[in-house]
Structure 1
Amino acid sequence: MIKYTLVCDAKHGFEGWFRNSDDFDSQRARHLVTCPVCGSAKVEKGLMAPAVSTARSKEARGLAPPVQPQDLPEPATPPTPKSVDTPLQPSALLPGDVRQKELVEAFRQARARIIENSENVGTGFADEARKIHYGEAEERSIYGETTPKDAVDLIEEGISVMPLPELPEDKN
C-alpha cells in the first residue's frame, strides 16, 4: 500500500491509501478520488513524508521510533480568502510578511527534526532506500540525494519518499 498526501484544486490537504501508483491514477481518472472538504475531484499528489518502512519494528530492536506527524511543528494558520489562494504560492509570501516567517520557521524545525533523527546516506539514497525496504539493510530513517526519476521509481515501488523542505539559506 502507498499513502499519498493529496491536495485538491481548492488547496485542501488530505491523505489517501492506494494499492500502487497506477491504482491512484486509475481512480483519479474515473473521478473516484475526491476532496473530503469540498468534494472536488481535481486532486493532485502533494508532498509526502520521508519514511522508509519494512515489516520489522524499530522498537523491537531497541532503536528510536521514526518521527511521527504529531512530533512535527504545527503548520501556519491558513490564509483568509481575501489574502491569497494558497499559503505556499510565492506571490502570497511577500517580504516581511509574518506568515512567510512562520512558514519558514516551521519548515526549518521540521527539517532539523528529520535530519536529527535520520542518517545522511548522500547520493546513495535510492539504493539504500531499496535495501531497507526489501530487508537487505537495517531499518532506519535516512535522507540524502537522488534524481527526480529515481524518486518516482521509489514511489512506484511502494517506497515512501519526500524532498526535504528547501529553505532560503540553502540558496546562499
Structure 2
Amino acid sequence: MIRYDLKCDKGHAFDSWFASAAAYDRLAAAGHVACPDCGSASVTKALMTPAVTQRSNDRALATPRDPKEAALAELRRKVEETSDYVGLSFAAEARAMHEGQIPERAIHGEAKPDEARKLIEDGVPVLPLPFLPTRKTN
C-alpha cells in the first residue's frame, strides 16, 4: 500500500491510499481518482516527505506515531471488530443484502475492480477501505 498527498485543479488538498504506484497511475489515467471536496478528476500528486523507518536503537528518541497512521490503525480495528470478513465473496454478499435475499449485516472483504464498479453502478452502497484486510488463516 502507498499513500499519496493529492491536490485537485481547484486547490483542494487530500490524501488517499493505493495498492501500488502503478495502481494510482492506472486509476488516475482512467479518471477514477477524484477530489472528495468538489469531485474534480483533475488530480495530481502533491509534494510529499518520504516515510523513513528508524533503527531500533533510535526508537527512544522517536517522535510519537503519525496521527494519520494511528487513525488508520483505529479504523482497521473498528472495521474488523464490528463487521464480518467475507473474503472474495464480498460482491455477491453485498448484492444479496441490497436485493433483500439475505439479512443485512456489516461486512468487509475483497472485490475485483470490475465487481466493485458494477456494485456502485447498481446503487449498492459500498466504499473502498484504505487498507488491505487481514488475511484469515488457520
TM-score range, shorter chain: 0.5 to 0.7
Question: TM-score under structure 2 normalisation?
Answer: 0.55
Residue 11, structure 1, aligned to residue 8, structure 2: no
Contact 1:124 1:146 in 2 (8 A): yes
Question: TM-score under structure 1 normalisation?
Answer: 0.45
Q: How far 1:98 sits from its partner (Å)?
A: 6.1
RMSD across aligned positions (CA): 3.7
Indicate which of 122, 127, 130 corresponds to 1:162: 127
Tell me what 2:92 maps to: 127
Residue identity (%): 32
Tell me what 1:116 maps to: 81
Unaligned runs of 5+ residues in structure 2 are 1-6, 15-34, 54-61
| Bigger relative contact order, structure 1 or 2 (CA pairs below 8 A, ≥6 apart) | 1
2-structure distance, mates of 1:99, 1:147: 36
Q: How far 1:155 sits from its partner (Å)?
A: 0.7
1-structure distance, mates of 2:52, 2:114: 34
Residue 95, structure 1, aligned to residue 52, structure 2: yes
Indicate which of 140, 147, 150 corresponds to 2:105: 140
Q: How far 1:107 sits from its partner (Å)?
A: 0.6
Structure 1 stretches of 4+ with a deviation exceeding 4 A read 96-100
- Deviating more after overlay: 97-106 vs 131-140: 97-106
